[in-house]
Amino acid sequence: TEFCDMRRAWEQVPPDEQAELETLTAHHSIAHSRALCGFTEWPEGYDDLLQKVPRPLVGVHPDTGRKALLTASHIETLTGKSKDETTEFVAELIQRATAVPENIYSHRWSVGDFLMWDNRCV
């Protein structure tokens, strides 16, 4: 199991890029995420669950005040970008974040382990 510290990833983004990223809204879509895995059929009545959810691309942790990149494969579009542009842009952000070994926590499981994480910063 691995986690990427997206607070550290944010802090590694140059200030001029940070300014741009803070203006972007990500439109999350479970339908888009599942379609990437080949799942395209939905039971009747799922329309409400398939609506895109707008979220800022950069979040602020409510307890620490630290900023973090909020990237995910279920981001279908970013404000002002097409689907294809968004896919490429988000993939690049994720690649940059995960390319730095210090950003990654890798857990080797042993019997009895219990692991907790904060989704607001990974």
Q: pLDDT tens digits for 34-60?
A: 777 788 787 787 767 778 889 999 999
Amino acid making up residue 103 = N
Residue 114 lies in a domain: no
Helix (H, G, I), strand (E, B) or coil at 13: coil
Other Cβ atoms less than 10 A from the Cβ of 30: the count is 17
Residue 88 lies in a domain: yes
Residue 96 lies in a domain: yes
Whether the CB-CB separation of 10 and 57 falls below 8 Å is answered with no
pLDDT per position as a tens digit, 62-109: 999 999 999 988 899 999 999 999 999 999 999 999 999 999 999 999
E strand map for 9-63: 25-28, 53-56, 58-60
Residue 57 lies in a domain: yes
Residue 118 lies in a domain: no
Query: pTM for this one?
Result: 0.84
Q: How many domains does the chain have?
A: 1
Tokens read off for 2: 């691995």
Q: What is the CATH number of the domain that holds 85?
A: 3.60.130.10
Place of tokens 């803070």: 22
